[in-house]
Amino acid sequence: MSWFIHSFWSDTLALLSIVGSITALLHLFLRHRDYRSAAFWTAMIVLEPLFSPLLYLLLGINILRRSGRRYRSGINEPWRDPVPDQPLPFSDTDGCAAQEHQQLARTLDRISRFSHTHGNRLEILHNGDEAMPRMLEAIRGAKESISLASYIFEATGIGADFVAELSAAVKRGVQVRVMVDDAGTRYSWPPVVDALAKAGVTVRRFMPSRMILRIITMNLRNHRKILVVDGRTAFTGGMNIREGNMVSRKPPHAVHDLHFEVTGPCVAQIQRVFAEDWAFCTNELLEGPLWFPDLSATGTTTAIGIVDGPDEDMEVMPAAFFAALNAAREEVKIVTPYFLPNAVLMAALRLCAVRGVKVTILTPGQNNIPIVGWAARTLYPELLSVGCRIFESAPPFDHTKIFLIDGVWSFLGSTNWDPRSLRLNFEFNLACHDAELFQRLSAEMDAKLAHSKEITQEMLENAPPLQRIRNGFVRLFIPVL
């Protein structure tokens, strides 16, 4: 009898591995668009046919794309601005440069669901020490509505101050809506959604799920950071609501970051993105002057919102990055905490350097996710070989995300240069045309470079053999990092 049972389970496992492998390979050949990722998964499935098909189901299939499409259809068609017929009034450039800027502007207009808005003002906020008090002050002064979305929102430390102010706003009669990514709620205990609900705040998790469903969608997250007060003042960028951002308080794991206070017509685009995600979570439509008041010019920045996610907006941000790199003629500056660009963006960066464009990349020397830093170092040689300059910043960990082009274009928001952000996450960014904003952000990067170490080919070649072997092994997993 024991022989029969053993034989039965052996045959069953063999059959399951064969069926699972064939099914996974068929899906790969028919549906997978990234050839490097497809090659990785094909090798994994062929070499280990028992568990690899299950891993492919959990990590390799973009299940949320179909869910995202369903959520779009559930809240009607997503908002789309008409593409303007007239060129943008760029007065700070002329000749060939103006033509390149106009072409990039038109490209972004067609890539994004939104159009360029004029008369915006962006203020740079350093770390949580500047950003969090300004956000709390805005919440404290809210009269009609507050929209808040965050990937990570801790219930303790600075997060507790947000809970208190949001609760006070509700008691004043302000309409408050808060959305936190389900995965992001697990970074701290107790979950902030419980504290907010007890405080009377209307709050929802983005894509809440349990057990196996959480495992399947754990790589697919709402990574957007949005706060809109009274439909007129917005805060966005890459900063989460957590104590680690309060650098002056000397937390155990300090995080440097930049965030942005935004006023002007593009605030409506930021609000629109929140409203669509909120409708997905609750079926409640946020419309009317309470959420979308008339907005007038407050500054001189031209800005366009770029929405990216694993739905119909999929791979919009990589396309925008590629268009910007293709348009660059003088300089490219990138600050990102995670530098694992896909093959297309790697080729675009190399071509920039070959054309004579000055390419400078800044990423942390000690990454908070070590394997990402190890894998990133395997990409450096092909960029260094064509003249790109790569710097690694000293601790503490720098979470800043900015991308600067040719003295006038600035991209800022929640997107990292890695597979997770570029393909899996829901992200939001602003592309801004403003020479003065560029100069301010360029100065921020230069200040960081002053405390960073430049990486050379010689340094990489002289690294200990075991370190290079480790990095080379980790590189195999870039498609799923």
Show me where the domains of the chain are located: 2-61, 118-302, 316-480
Contacts of 129 (CB under 8 A, 6+ apart): 245, 246, 247, 248
Mean pLDDT of 55-83: 56
pLDDT surpasses 70 at 209: no
- State the Cα–Cα distance between residues 467 and 143, nearest whole angstrom: 56
The tokens 């990574």 sit on which residue? 223
Instruction: Look at 158 and 190; give whichever has higher pLDDT.
Output: 158
* Domain spanning 316-480, CATH class: alpha beta
pLDDT confidence of 35, banded at 50, 70, 90? low
Mean pLDDT of 196-202: 96
Most confident residue range from 13-27, 79-93, 209-223? 13-27
Residue whose C-alpha is closest to residue 90's, from 81, 82, 99: 99
| Tokens standing for residue 174 | 């302000």
Is CATH 3.30.870.10 the right assignment for the domain spanning 118-302?
A: yes
pLDDT the model gives residue 307: 93
- C-alpha count within 13 angstroms, C-beta hemisphere, residue 81: 23
One fold for 118-302 and 316-480: yes
Burial of 146 (0-12, 13-18, 19+ CB in 10 A): buried
**Cα separations in angstroms, 20 against 17, 60, 212:** 5, 14, 18
Mean pLDDT of 385-407: 97
Q: 3-state SS string over 127-142?
A: HHHHHHHHHHHHHHCC
Structural element, H or E, at residue 21: helix 2-31
Mean pLDDT of 182-192: 85
Residue 308's DSSP bridge partners are: 427
Residue whose C-alpha is closest to residue 65's, from 29, 38, 31, 42: 31
- State the Cα–Cα distance between residues 297 and 267, nearest whole angstrom: 11
Instruction: Look at 270 and 14; give whichever has higher pLDDT.
Output: 270
Mean pLDDT of 7-28: 65
User: Could you read off the pLDDT of 432-474 as tens digits, one per residue?
Assistant: 999 999 999 999 999 999 999 999 999 999 999 999 999 999 9
According to DSSP, the β-strands at 331-335 and 358-364 are: parallel
pLDDT confidence of 386, banded at 50, 70, 90? very high
Q: What does the angle CA 289 – CA 294 – CA 295 come to, to the nearest 5 degrees?
A: 135
pLDDT surpasses 80 at 208: no
Contacts of 321 (CB under 8 A, 6+ apart): 345, 348, 403, 411, 417
pLDDT confidence of 42, banded at 50, 70, 90? confident
- What percent of the chain has pLDDT above 90? 67
> What's this model's pTM, rounded to 2 decimal places?
0.86
pLDDT the model gives residue 55: 66
- State the Cα–Cα distance between residues 284 and 463, nearest whole angstrom: 55
Q: Which range among 180-194, 266-280, 448-462 shows the weakest confidence by mean pLDDT? A: 180-194
User: Could you read off the pLDDT of 119-141 as tens digits, one per residue?
Assistant: 999 999 999 999 999 999 999 99
Burial of 173 (0-12, 13-18, 19+ CB in 10 A): exposed
Instruction: Look at 289 and 50; give whichever has higher pLDDT.
Output: 289
Structural element, H or E, at residue 42: helix 35-47
pLDDT the model gives residue 71: 47
- What percent of the chain has pLDDT above 70? 77
Mean pLDDT of 64-70: 50
pLDDT the model gives residue 221: 83
